[in-house]
Amino acid sequence: MARQWVARPPPTGRRRAMPDHTEHPRRLIILRAAERLFAHYGPTKTTVADIARQASVGVGTVYLEFSSKDAILAELATSRHQQILDLIQRAARETGDNHPARLRAVLDARVQAFLSQQEGGAHASDLLHCVCPAIARAWEAYQRAERDLLTQLIREGVEAGAFVSDDPAHTAATILDAYTCFAPPLLFHRDHDRLPHDLAQLHRLILQGLVFRDDVSSL
């Protein structure tokens, strides 16, 4: 039976992970207010004055906690990207020692995590990928961490005799290039009804080229 791809909330059922500001509740209130506004109106149309009003504080109070709107965006975007990395890493841990299955689970979890970010407002996914420099920097840092994770998984597969790759880092980068259409922003414009089929086809194409021939049956 084909998988049903729907945007789901994080597995804990709680608010998306936010930095721990238990000693600075005012900072957390400002971040949550900004997150709501960014999700509804988008980062470019939200001002520091809007955030202050939503948080019921003065504009000066916002600047006591953050040097600029970009600083708020950077903190929220970094937190959002870290949540996605956490979900991907959990998929890797929970799959077991079958290296092809683990890589496939990671790539599936990646897509599901991206889709889950669309919840919460018309611009909820803007904190993942948009033209704002602060978000672009967070996205670039996420891509490096994601590439490092895939490199490690491929290297472990090579060492176990399950994968064939002369250069795991280059292989990881190539795989992520191939999956560009299953990442923001292109993912959000795809036909979700066709998504399971298209993703399965790409999985098979990529993994058949990577897996040691004795393990092809595990795809």
The model's pTM is 0.81
For residue 87, the number of C-alpha atoms closer than 13 Å in the C-beta half-sphere is 25
* Residues listed for the chain: 219
The CB density around residue 48, as the number of other CB atoms within 10 Å, is 16
CATH 3.10.129.10 fits 74-218, yes or no: no
What are the structure tokens assigned to 146, written together? 């994601």
Residues contacting 72, CB < 8 A, separation 6+: 30, 31, 34, 51, 62, 66
For each of the chain's 219 residues, which pLDDT tens digit applies? 444 444 444 444 344 445 554 457 999 999 999 999 999 999 999 999 999 999 999 999 999 999 999 999 999 999 999 999 999 999 999 998 899 999 999 999 999 999 988 876 778 889 888 878 999 999 999 999 999 999 999 999 999 999 999 999 999 999 999 999 999 889 988 898 999 999 999 999 998 889 866 544 554
Fold designation for 20-66: Arc Repressor Mutant, subunit A (1.10.10)
Residue 189 in contact with residue 178, Cβ under 8 Å? Answer: no
Residue 148: name the closest of 169, 132, 133, 163 by CA: 169
Question: How do the domains of the chain map onto residue ranges?
Answer: 20-66, 74-218
